Amino acid sequence: MRMRLGWILGLAAVVFVGASFTLASAQAKPIKLGQIIPMTGEAAESGKYHKQGAEIAVDKINAAGGINGRKLQIVLEDDQTTNPGGVAALQKLLEDKEIPMILSSIRSTQVQAMLPTINEAKIPVAIGGTNYGLTHSGSQWVFRFRPHDGMSAKVIAKFLVEELKHKKVASIHASDAFGNGGRDMLVPAVKALGGEVVLDQGYNNQEKDFTAVVQALKKSGATGLNTYMTFGTDLGVLARQIKQLGAQVTWVGSPSITGVDSRNLAGDALYGTYGVTDFHVDASPTSTEFAKAYKAKFGQEPDLYAAWCYDAVLVFAEAMKKAPDLRADNLRKAILNIQKFPGAEGEYNFDQNGDGLDHYHIVQNVNGNIKYFKTLRVAR
Amino acid sequence: MAESLSINGQLLFAGLAIGSVYALVALGFVMIFRATNVVNFAQGEFSMLGAYFLFSLWHGLKLDYFAAMALALLIMVGVGLLFEISIYYPLRNRTFLPVIIATIGASIMFQNGALAVFGPSPEKVRPVVETVEGTGGITLAGVFFDYQYVIILLVTVLLVGLQYLFFEYTILGKKMQATSQDKDMARLLGIPVVYMIALTFIYSSLLGGLSGMLVAPIFFVTHKMGATLGLKAFAATICGGFGDVRGAILGGLALGVIESFGGAYISVIYKDGFSFLVLIAFLLLRPQGIFGEKVAEKA
């Protein structure tokens, strides 16, 4: 008898607790936002920064009352730094029908692998991959929160050929979608300004010895160098060997040259080099505000990995406010209608392709610190 | 002429330097194979662990660089012993397959363990010789010699020499050889087989750890560093003939040089392909390796 009483009481408690949970969640059930980051694999180092950038934006939104009274909540999935891993992570997030929008990869090759799935799913996906084709292949559902490589290549060409007067330029690039894409945009941009690409040199990710590459660079007679490198460790090895083998070039790198890990690994081998970056702390009041909040929470300076995720969460949240039914087509329209939105990266004006930005900052490595040099805007 | 000489000289040095790294790791493969007839797929991870121990002691605990290195090597002795006790010993009487699978499992565990403990950011360790101007080397006759690579080459030569003398001229070396050739016979002759094998694991762990510490300033310390090294060293070991010390060294150096010149004169993108082409060629044409195996029926 006593046992049966216990059972009844226990059951009642479960029902009661359950009911109170449903009641509470009906009032303010958080809105889920999916985020795909590398937690394992070669790029795991950058995954942490992606996560932290998004967290700052979520904190900001929730502190200001959330989205139409509901809190925002990030749901993380690991892409394992591989293309199949990225697609699997995306599919996993898509299975959760409560997720209206997703932040995906900064790696072009991964976004490319995910594109068919994104187009089939028909929900807005934020990307940080800068390969030009990603937003120019007819997909209506990808929104880019960094300027594309066509712009970075144009800015690099403009800076090297027009401003620094280097007519002979070398291109050293990773032989993946990001590296080859960068090269493909650089070559015509340099030509258009009257310069010449005298060396087109690809290499495989995780290369440990660049002797042959640096020799080809010296032999080419190039005075200006551009790199599109995917991994900080590769950049560290190349920078060291350029210094050791005495190649005299003005180096203007793609954004990875300004990353924390690259600078930490390469040390003084990168002093004096230039880079283009879409994010710099001193570039705008919004960037400075973001950096302050980031430093207060994580004790370190944010980098571009964190910045684009911060912006993507803010812009998506803004779209959710404008389209409270959270239907994909309405969210898409809301994003396209967002004009002059101040982000940490810059001012967002989305075009029909899904590109939000059209500028790049030139920065210089001055004794290990990345100093703001100037901002160049180019035609979309 | 002088220019092409210095270019080729540079390529040769780079190839020998990278090759000697492969060779050092390959030596570890060979040692364990000789003692147990098993391939230790966690050999590359010994390098990674060594590099991380050095980094933690030197950068984390702020110890003197050389003291940190000595201490890290001491820890590697423990790692080798623990590895033998937990991975090899329980499976010693089984066929080679369970042991190999266990070493693969250990390698995955080491990699992810390092990722969990040290995080995903690559770390930097100082080179053995620190120079004022910061290139870390010297240019002679148009060829740049990185001190760290010179040291790696010297260490490799030294270890090969010592290892050769040890196996051919000491009782302990002979006992270890006897153990690898026929365990039952060795046991009958009164050789403590279990200790011999434990000793081999300890030495291999030391060797791997040392190679990891030496390449840390050049390749940087990441949880993945052992996997890349291990794969190339494995190829080198096969070219050299499994179980052959001289072959492993020659295989490692040859792979490094082939990669270096292939990268310069054929294609940088297919650089990794060259070493595996050589590997396939060896497997097809000369599976016993460069020098052939001393004991043909061993495998």
> Could you give the domains of chain B?
18-285 (1.10.3470)
Structure tokens at A238: 């190349």
Task: Show Cβ contacts of residue B8 under 8 Å, excluding neighbours closer than 6 positions.
Answer: none
pLDDT in tens, A260-277: 788 888 888 999 999 998
Predicted local confidence at residue B136, as pLDDT: 80
> Which residues of chain B, if any, have pLDDT below 70?
1-2, 132-134, 292-299
Contact A245 B144 (CB under 8 A): yes
- CA A79 to chain B, closest CA, distance in angstroms equals 14
In a domain, A199, yes or no: yes
Show residues of chain A in contact with B132, CB under 8 Å: none
Contact B222 A233 (CB under 8 A): yes
Contact B220 A233 (CB under 8 A): yes
Predicted local confidence at residue A13, as pLDDT: 55
Domain count, chain A: 2
For chain A, what is the mean pLDDT? 90
A72 and A196 belong to one structural domain: no
In a domain, A165, yes or no: yes
Closest to A331 (Cα-Cα) out of A67, A110, A36: A67
A236 and A367 belong to one structural domain: yes
Residue A16 has pLDDT above 70, yes or no: no
In a domain, A19, yes or no: no
Amino acid making up residue B261:
F
Any idea which of A39-43, A66-70, A136-140 has the lowest mean pLDDT? Answer: A39-43
Predicted local confidence at residue A23, as pLDDT: 46
A297 and A341 belong to one structural domain: yes
Predicted local confidence at residue A2, as pLDDT: 53
A35 and A100 belong to one structural domain: yes
A217 and A80 belong to one structural domain: no
Residue B126 in contact with partner chain A when CB distance is under 8 A: no
In a domain, A18, yes or no: no
- Nearest by CB: A42 against B134, B146, B224: B224
For chain B, what is the mean pLDDT? 87
A157 and A242 belong to one structural domain: yes
In a domain, A50, yes or no: yes
A177 and A264 belong to one structural domain: yes
Indicate which CATH number applies to the domain containing A109. Answer: 3.40.50.2300
Whole-prediction pTM: 0.76
Contact B115 A40 (CB under 8 A): yes
In a domain, A177, yes or no: yes
pLDDT in tens, A59-90: 999 999 999 999 999 999 999 999 999 999 99
ipTM of the complex: 0.85
pLDDT in tens, A122-132: 999 999 998 88
> Mapped to the 3 state alphabet, what secondary structure does A232-279 carry?
HHHHHHHHHHHHHCCCCCEEEECHHHHCHHHHHHHHHHHCCCEEEECC
- Nearest by CB: A233 against B112, B122, B137: B122
Predicted local confidence at residue B296, as pLDDT: 45
pLDDT in tens, A316-365: 999 999 999 999 999 999 999 999 999 999 899 999 999 999 889 999 99
Q: To which residue do tokens 């283009």 refer? A: A276
A368 and A240 belong to one structural domain: yes
In a domain, A59, yes or no: yes
A82 and A116 belong to one structural domain: yes
A131 and A158 belong to one structural domain: no
pLDDT in tens, B259-295: 999 988 998 888 888 888 888 888 888 887 777 654 4
- CA A240 to chain B, closest CA, distance in angstroms equals 8
Sign, CA dihedral A310-A312-A316-A318, equals: positive
A51 is in which domain, residue-wise? 31-147+283-349
Could you tell me the pLDDT band of residue A7, with boundaries at 50, 70 and 90?
low
Predicted local confidence at residue A11, as pLDDT: 54
A67 and A194 belong to one structural domain: no
A93 and A41 belong to one structural domain: yes
In a domain, A20, yes or no: no
A170-199 burial, b at 16+ Cβ within 10 Å, e below that, comes to bbbbbbbbbbbbbbbbbbebbeeeebebbb
